[in-house]
């Protein structure tokens, strides 16, 4: 009698089971985190601004996924220096494999990274670069901006002065940070029809002693000061020193300041008005999405969100939605999605103008107001006087300086 190999039969049956199982089980790809590279200043004069932005990004990305893949933020400190920012951007793309770069705070950093956009070959989205060049003369297929720019803010300040004509009658002194953004901002302010500028003083970022500039203000006979100062440690220092010299001139900041600083300046900031405010947490009484965001922000960070934190949150909302809508995670697909995606963000509908990659957003007319009841612990806040929509402040494509993407 011949007997077959019993082991052969067992192995054959086992193989058949494995094959059947393989057919029944769906094929699944290994999930990988989608990296978003964040470049903000966490040290240096603009660190308070960078911290606000980072808080907004982190809160918006918390728990977010794209097609089952987790979003992971990798953060690098740009120190608000163009050379440092570029090195960190290269690291985020080459080593951390970031699919998109998000951040800013300094227009010089954003423009420096954009100059190498083709080599980096990833989209770059800024929620705080204000220099007109960003979506103007230096526009590119890689660079996107979701916040209002200097020209839009100047239009908003023009609207402010139409509504409060007494401001237009004042003699203005412009104090500015002498670098890309400060020069851009003061140039746009000077374009406001009928504005009377009697003097100006430029100082480098990181200036601690403003006494020489204050002497120039006193000598000019100005009764109003426009502060084209980057929103960092310098601005509250300047305001405090101006008041300590006994100067009670009206002061107009281009967009306000982070609420962490506003609280520190306190009564010295009361009465300041802004036509180009990015956003205000005090709109929570009319905006349920803002109310929820403010509650979450205060719970996470113990302070109300400033304008830059709000813009950062909205920009990250758009970024994540675009990644979801993209046909793939290839650069061209993400760029295409950013150009066509709109999102109901914390500041309302947010969408990019495809032709120059400028965010189609408005600004807010607001006044720094003392808050006796201290909601969320805030003793002072930007009380919104009027919403200024995109259509009122947009710059026509022919006037942007962008020659095409």
What's the CA gap between 401 and 397, in Å, rounded? 8
Q: Quote the percentage of the chain above a pLDDT of 70.
A: 92
Please say whether the beta carbons of 354 and 342 come within 8 A: no
Superfamily (CATH H level) for 151-283+364-392: Response regulator (3.40.50.2300)
Structural domain boundaries in the chain: 34-149+286-362, 151-283+364-392
Burial state string for 199-228 with b = 16 or more CB within 10 A and e = fewer than 16: bbbbbebebeebeebbeebeebebbbbbbb
Which residues of the chain have a pLDDT value below 70?
Answer: 1-31, 232
Q: What is the pLDDT of residue 181?
A: 82
Q: What is the pTM of this model?
A: 0.86
Q: What is the pLDDT of residue 164?
A: 92
pLDDT digit string (tens) for 301-315?
999 999 999 999 999
Q: What is the pLDDT of residue 356?
A: 98
Q: What share of the chain is helix, strand, coil (3-state, %, to 5)?
A: 45, 20, 35
Please say whether the beta carbons of 77 and 88 come within 8 A: yes
Q: What is the pLDDT of residue 31?
A: 62
Residue range 34-149+286-362 forms a domain whose CATH class is alpha beta
Please say whether the beta carbons of 259 and 231 come within 8 A: no
* Domain 34-149+286-362 identical in fold to domain 151-283+364-392: yes
DSSP state of 341: -
């Amino acid at each position: 009698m011949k007997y077959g190999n019993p082991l052969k039969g067992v192995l054959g049956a086992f193989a058949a089971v494995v094959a059947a199982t393989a057919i029944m089980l769906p094929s699944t790809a290994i999930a990988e985190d989608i990296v978003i590279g964040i470049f903000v200043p966490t040290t240096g004069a603009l660190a308070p601004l960078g911290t606000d932005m980072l808080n907004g990004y982190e809160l918006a990305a918390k728990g977010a996924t794209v097609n089952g893949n987790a979003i992971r933020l990798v953060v690098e400190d740009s120190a608000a220096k163009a050379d440092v920012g570029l090195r960190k951007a290269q690291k985020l793309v080459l080593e951390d494999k970031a699919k998109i770069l998000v951040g800013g705070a300094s227009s010089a950093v954003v423009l420096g990274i954009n100059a190498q956009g083709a080599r980096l070959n990833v989209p770059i989205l800024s929620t705080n670069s204000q220099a007109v060049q960003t979506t103007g003369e230096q526009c590119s297929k890689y660079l996107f901006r979701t916040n209002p720019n200097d020209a839009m803010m100047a239009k908003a300040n023009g609207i402010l002065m139409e509504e409060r004509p007494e401001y237009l009658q004042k003699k203005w002194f412009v104090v500015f940070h002498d670098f890309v953004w400060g020069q851009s901002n003061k140039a746009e302010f000077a374009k406001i029809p009928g504005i009377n500028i009697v003097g100006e003083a430029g100082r480098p970022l990181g200036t601690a002693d403003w006494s020489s500039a204050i002497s120039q203000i006193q000598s000019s006979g100005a009764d109003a000061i426009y502060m084209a100062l980057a929103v960092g440690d310098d601005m509250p220092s300047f305001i405090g020193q101006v008041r300590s010299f006994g100067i009670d001139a009206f002061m107009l900041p281009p967009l306000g300041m982070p609420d962490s600083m506003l609280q520190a300046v306190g009564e010295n900031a009361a009465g300041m008005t802004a036509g180009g405010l990015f956003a205000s947490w005090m709109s929570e009484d009319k905006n349920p999405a803002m109310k929820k965001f403010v509650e979450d922000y205060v719970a996470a960070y113990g302070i109300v969100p400033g304008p830059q934190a709000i813009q950062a949150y909205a920009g990250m909302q758009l970024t994540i939605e675009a990644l979801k809508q993209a046909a793939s995670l290839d650069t061209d697909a993400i760029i295409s999605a950013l150009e066509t995606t709109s999102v109901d963000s914390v500041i309302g509908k947010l969408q990019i103008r495809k032709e120059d990659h400028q965010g189609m957003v408005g600004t807010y007319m607001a006044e720094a107001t003392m808050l006796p009841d201290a909601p969320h612990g805030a003793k002072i806040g930007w009380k919104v006087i009027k919403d200024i929509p995109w259509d009122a402040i947009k710059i026509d494509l022919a006037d942007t300086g962008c020659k095409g993407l």
